[in-house]
Structure 1
Amino acid sequence: MRVKRIFDFLYYNHERYHKDVVVAGKKAGKWVTYSSAQYIEMSALVSYALIELGIQAGDRIATISSNRPEWNFVDIGTLQIGAIHVPVYPSINEEELIYILKESGCRIVFTGNRYTASTIEERKSELPDLQKIICFDDNSNSLPFSEFLQIGRAHPQPEELATRMAQVNPEDIASIIYTSGTTSQPKGVMLTHENHVSNALVAAFTINLNDSHRRVSYLPLSHSYERMVCYTCLYLGISVYYADGVSAILSTLKEIKPHVLVSVPLLLEKVYQGILKKGLELKGIQKVIFHYALRLAQRFELNKEMGWWYNLQLSLARKIVFIKWKEALGGEIIKIITGGASVQPYLVRVFWAAGIPIYEGYGLTEASPLIAYNTEGNIKPGTVGKAIPDVVVKIAEDGELLVKGPNVMKGYYNQPEITMNVIDQEGWLHTGDLAEIDEEGFIKITGRKKEIFKLASGIYVYPEKLEGHLKQSLYISQAYVIGENQSILAALIQPNFDYIKELFAKQGIHFTSNRELINDDRVKSLIESEIKTLNGPGVKENETIQRFALVAEEWTIDTGELTPSLKLKRRVIDEKYKEIITGFFKDNLSNL
């Protein structure tokens, strides 16, 4: 069968593979798996219940939940009756949540826990279109999901469902996904069935995986990136296991032994920092071997013949050292696919050397999201690959990357003027990213158009690049670079609190709080020395960090400094640390 609408993926999967495990999640610590037949049955029950509750084509249904199979059942059950799915990040703050539910006019809301359900219930008077709140957890005052399914069982309507499925067209809106931008209020991105399907099929045809493979899912399904990958998995017959929270990722990897990881750079940076930390704890010959292997990896160049002597040493390093890296990821990993932000070149180099290929891609929610990525046999480190089939890219006069293709959104919900600013009269989507395209068609993202700034000297600075450079340090967890219209650059530094506390504890020095840690002169000297090292050879003078301040807060999605895709919210950080930032540029301060 041909896949034209999102729900066609599920029926294609059942017809071709008859999988025993299509999707799985944990309940009370035990895996609960669903076959393709069970997936279809559960999705149908959702559809029957929604029909019974009076939901019509075009109505909006929201889901606010962490990853779990029920999310998928609601997704397919909603879409196959012609309704529109509004997925919302479970970590979103209360005001943004109410804004999204109100603006989109959602009639039904599914929540992952009773706390979210209670929050919405308390503010229901602000949501005139909201008809019912359904909670996946049964211990809630809202309608439990199990009782909601009973509505579907009590009122099966297979003929009505078949009629509605037949009426859904590829051009119909399937989703409204609210982007939580780094500099502005959320906007509802309207994506059609065709948008989603075209993107997932391109990924399926180029990813080189099959129905014998497994993957662990931990990026939020409410993000278009993870959702597209899950549709791709349906098409290819790949079994998907949902990690039971962020803290369970590593244990789930060891348990499930996935063949592919889909990640974002920040998580890879955390994995790499964890590896470095363990290496520093080794003793004697083991420590010597570890650091020798790491130095080999740092010299690795993907598209270059390194010579027989280097290859021999690397082969031994893979058998002795890097095999343990693979074991930490489950032992059967074939590749890592990453997007959401640029990966630092040193990470790509080291993981490839370790025998764990990283394929970097690029996209936007407004493009469903995939625009370009590196594929097997067609990869160039430092780039996000070439534009995917059927998608055309070009560079505007001001350096902005423009995109055209079947993946480009229909527009922003209820915001035609903003839509016209982003999609021009010729149909080009203005990505907001600055980029370069080389003679082979590989795309290099150089920065966000809104985030690039100019020093007093007139030189442009790409803060993301410099922040990534600083985060190479094992002592630095996050960095925020500022200096617009100033003569120097400064940075807010969030230390790697856990590692630094461990390091000092070995010397008998114990910190009772993050605040105490950042005020300690020994810690300040440690970070200062690290920044001076990072300011060293290979760094342009205008890109060196001359002043810095340590922050005691850990930047997270929940506290508002990070977007759900783990990018810095610059507007929030600017406001939160306004006094410190102003103080950076007083003339009486000395530079590093």
Structure 2
Amino acid sequence: MSDPESLIKNLPPSVATVFLERVEATPDAEAYRYPVPSASGEGPDEWRSYSWREAADRVFALAAGLMELGVRPEERVAIASGTRIEWILADLAILCAGAATTTVYPSTNSEETGFILGDSDSRVLFAEDTAQLDKVREHRAELPDLAHVVLLDGDVPDGEDDWVLSFAELERRGAAHLAEHPEAVREAVAGLRSADLATLIYTSGTTGRPKGVRLRQEAWSYMAKAVPASGLLESDDVQYLWLPLAHVFGKMLISVHIESAHVLAVDGRVDKIIENLPVVRPTKMCAVPRIFEKVYNGVAQRARDGGPAKYKIFQWAAEVAREYARTSQDNQRRTGEATVPAGLRVKHAVADRLVYGKLREAFGGRMLGCVSGSAALAPDLGLFFAGAGIPVLEGYGLTESAAASFCNRRDTFRTGTVGQPFLGTEVRIAEDGEVLLRGPGIMEGYHGLPDKTAEVLEEDGWFHTGDIGELSDDGFLKITDRKKDLIKTSGGKYIAPAEVEGRFKALCPYVSNILVHGADRNYCTALIALDEAAILGWAADQEELKGKPYTEVVGSDEVRRLVDGYVEDLNAGLQRWQTIKKFRILPRDLDIEHGELTPSLKLKRPVVEREFADLIEEMYTGARER
């Protein structure tokens, strides 16, 4: 399907349909890999596999189990769990039962979990463990429609077996149901229609209650077909999946995998990524910008630890990588050939032996490329990874567009853009610069909120993203900022904070998070949080700071002088009205627990500005610099 009309015309009614077709086409091919702790509890995990047939056997049993519990078409079944193979099996079972999945981050607090389950009218909840069960137990009286909780791990608490059952028990009930009704699951899938509700994903808003985004069956069948049609994932790939499946980015990858038929290695433990990559040896991985920032900062720190000579080599190699990527991309844009001059090729070959090869080995040695989404990746970081042989292809989409609307391709990508649209997605730029989208992936609306839906979704299907962007003549989109995040100084100058923040992250290897402030002020300021491991590594080489705790280190004059040097470097490349006149180093990093980051690690600006309002005000009242 090489044209949008053909792709859309031939969309299957649901991703469950695609799943059944995949199982029939390649029943014995490897579908999933997942880790199992060693029998002794010590040493590395053992990785096991499911074929498509084996996965389908479990999915069918779980789906039939949900039917036996009384779940009916389009009724909601929630999942509150980290990323693991059981999450995917449960999700596919919900869809194959004709129901709709409500996703809940395992980090969501009890109150918001209760709200999501109640607002979605979820009938059953897959809970990862008793910690997730406890959140629901607190609000059981307010959730009369929640008939059952299915526990993935742990024993069913005494006295609650009428309400709580184990994952294994649900499968047993499903197997018994299938013995009596062998065609029950296939009949449920055959009854699905493209306009049926498939998923409710609640957006983590910066203020107020989250909104439930209603995604239809066709949104996922469209993703399943459109993304593989772009060539981003192929059947011989091994993809490493750690992203939270409660987020639309991770959820989308489940659908894409079914059509692409590559191997999906699933482990959501972020602290295991570095350990797992050399074992899994993936060819593809999707991530958020923070992961690539941490990788870059870690490599830079190790080079610095090796002494001045080694650090100089790294800095030289990093600049060569950027020059190589920039030159090849510029030439490809102008001539269609990604060529570079002979002298630069020689320098790049030397840098590859000294630096890039070791970096690729850390990714498992077979990585062909990564996709970055959810937030903007600093262009300098993108150029570094591209030049080092691990192209990071930025993509773009929202929960409301089922995640994937745009993405760069390996053979024609441009760092600093989010690439071209997928087949079947329409885009236009409004007069005020806002990006508008239309296509099968766009949401039906916000659950129970018709007024909020009308604010962003036009009757003819155009969705207002809230992002400001520029579209090139050949369809490459560049996102410049969130419409609501553009700030205007008291001098009348507009500033895109994300642009300035991205530049600083590319310059300073110690930064974890940065927030640029300046709305209605006469100059810009910044709140800067430092990465604990990186800054303590630097402090270990400073006589005055060696052995001191994080809070003392970040509050020291030495660290302030260090960061000030990077701020000066940043300002040298900015317009006068964009420059950072004052900054404050935060006493701790920003995190999800304090509500300053979303579970997908996006900055919640209003929350941060409220939390550290005293520091911001201090920078505008003439208080002395610390």
With normalisation by structure 2, the TM-score equals 0.91
Partner amino acid, structure 2, of 1:364: L
Q: Does residue 46 in structure 1 map to residue 62 in structure 2?
A: yes
Q: Which moved more, 1:326-335 or 1:369-378?
A: 369-378
Choose which of 170, 178, 182 in structure 2 pairs with 1:148.
Answer: 170
The answer to whether residue 70 in structure 2 is matched with residue 35 in structure 1 is: no
Q: Is the 8 A contact 2:380 2:503 kept in 1?
A: no
Unaligned segments of structure 2, at least 5 residues: 1-9, 38-44, 158-163, 332-338
Specify the alignment match of 1:411 in structure 2: 445
Structure 2 equivalent of residue 169 of structure 1: 193
Of 189, 200, 213, 2:213 maps to 189
Shift of 1:314: 0.6
User: Which among 197, 201, 205 is matched to residue 229 of structure 2?
Assistant: 205
**8 Å contact kept, 1:518–1:552:** yes
Deviations 1:492-518 (A, max 9, x none): 110122222222223343354332223
Q: Could you state the TM-score of these two structures normalised by the residue count of structure 1?
A: 0.96
Worse-matched range after superposition: 154-163 or 129-138: 154-163
| Contact 2:228 2:234 survives alignment (8 Å) | no
* Alpha-carbon distance between aligned partners in 1 of 2:418 and 2:310, rounded to the nearest angstrom: 36
Aligned counterparts, 1:49-198, within 5 A: 49-141=65-157, 142-156=164-178, 157-198=181-222
The 1:46–1:207 alpha-carbon spacing in structure 2 relative to 1, beyond 3 Å, is same
171-180 or 130-139, which moves further after superposition?
130-139
**Sequence identity, in percent?**
31
| Partner of residue 374, structure 1 | 408
Aligned residue for 1:308? Answer: 342
Of the structure 1 ranges 156-165 and 414-423, higher mean CA displacement relative to structure 2 is found in 156-165
1:511 and 1:517 in contact (8 A); partners too: no
Report SS of the residue matched to 2:546.
coil
- Contact 2:88-2:254 within 8 A present in 1 as well: no
Which aligned pairs between 1:516-555 and structure 2 lie closer than 5 A? 516-536=552-572, 538-555=573-590
Structure 1 residues without counterparts, runs of 5 or longer: none
Shift in CA distance, 282/511, structure 1 to aligned 2, threshold 3 Å: closer
In structure 2, C-alpha distance between the alignment counterparts of 1:376 and 1:471, rounded to whole Å: 24
Return closer, same or farther for 1:544/1:183 CA change in 2, 3 Å cut-off: farther
Contact 1:19–1:237, Cα closer than 8 Å, also in 2: no
Match of 1:236 in 2: 260
Alpha-carbon distance between aligned partners in 2 of 1:116 and 1:7, rounded to the nearest angstrom = 27
Coordinate RMSD, CA, aligned: 1.9
SS at match of 2:394: strand
**Partner SS state of residue 30, structure 2:** coil
The whole-number CA distance in structure 2 between the counterparts of 1:287 and 1:442 is: 36
- Matches of 1:299 and 1:351, distance apart in 2: 11
2:113 and 2:135 in contact (8 A); partners too: no
Matches within 5 A, 1:553-568: 553-568=588-603
Partner SS state of residue 219, structure 2: helix
Q: Does 1:451 align with 2:475?
A: no
| Distance of 2:540 and 2:310 partners within structure 1 | 23
Partners of 1:248 and 1:477 in 2: how far apart? 20
Distance in 1, Cα, partners of 2:63 & 2:574: 58
Superposed CA deviations along residues 454-479 of structure 1, whole A, max 9, x for unmatched, are 00001011111111122220121110
Give the Cα separation in 1 of the matches to 2:156 and 2:296.
Answer: 40
Task: Give the 3-state SS of the residue equivalent to 1:490 in structure 2.
Answer: strand
Quote the residue 2:27 is aligned against: 18
Query: 2: distance between equivalents of 1:80 and 1:145?
Result: 17
Q: CA deviation at 1:541?
A: 1.0
For the structure 1 residues 470 and 183, does the alpha-carbon distance in structure 2 shift closer, same or farther, using more than 3 Å as the test? farther
Change (3 A) 1:456 1:2: closer
1:213 deviates by 1.7
Counterpart among 462, 467, 473 of residue 433 in structure 1: 467
Residue 119 of structure 1: SS of its match in structure 2?
Answer: helix
